[in-house]
Amino acid sequence: MKKIFLLSLFICLLASCTNEIGPIPNDEPQKLIINALMNAGKTENAIYLNLSDYNSPQIVKNGIIRLYINGELSETITECIHPSEDEIYTSYEDYYYKVHSTFNSGDHIRIEAETSDGKFRAEAETIVHEPIRILQLDTLHRTGSLTGNNVSNGSL
């Protein structure tokens, strides 16, 4: 009786899995992607622009970026920094838009980006957080074997 019950339960579970997951369509329209690396107090900040793609993102070299800090236009960036054309291998990290503005902790940042032909547009907002500061680092230093009792505390 127990075997019949388990067999019928197995058949019911097998028959209940009828939803088939189809292939993911690759005809999704492209979107402009903004990736920004910004830190408070740093002078070297960058914004990356890419177009979404089914296989890999496409680099946007003809972007127009408007950067707002606390609601006021800080700068408009149109120059895409990239390696020389002689480079054989380049990645999307090699193409970026250099930010000349400096940020303070708590600044409200708004980025409006578009391609020069106006076909793609995107926007992003964030608040600049204070950089992490390490105030104290405590370590544990062991001498001898891991199971031994020779343990001493130290700090850096």
pLDDT digits (tens, 9 = 90+) for 78-132: 998 887 766 666 666 788 999 999 888 889 999 999 999 999 999 999 888 776 7
Q: Confidence band (pLDDT; 50, 70, 90) for 63? A: very high
Report residue 100 as tokens.
């000349």
Query: Cα–Cα distance between 101 and 66 in angstroms, integer?
Result: 12
pTM, two decimal places: 0.65
Amino acid at 152: S
Helix (H) or strand (E) holding 12: helix 2-16
With b for 16 or more beta-carbon neighbours within 10 A and e for fewer, the 44-79 pattern comes to ebebbbbeeeeeeeebbeebbbebbbeeeebeebee
What are the structural domains of the chain? Answer: 32-127 (2.60.40)
Amino acid at 83: P
Mean pLDDT of all residues in 1-24 = 61
Query: Cα–Cα distance between 126 and 116 in angstroms, integer?
Result: 24
CA 122 to chain centre: 15
pLDDT the model gives residue 123: 95
> Does the pLDDT value for residue 12 go beyond 70?
no
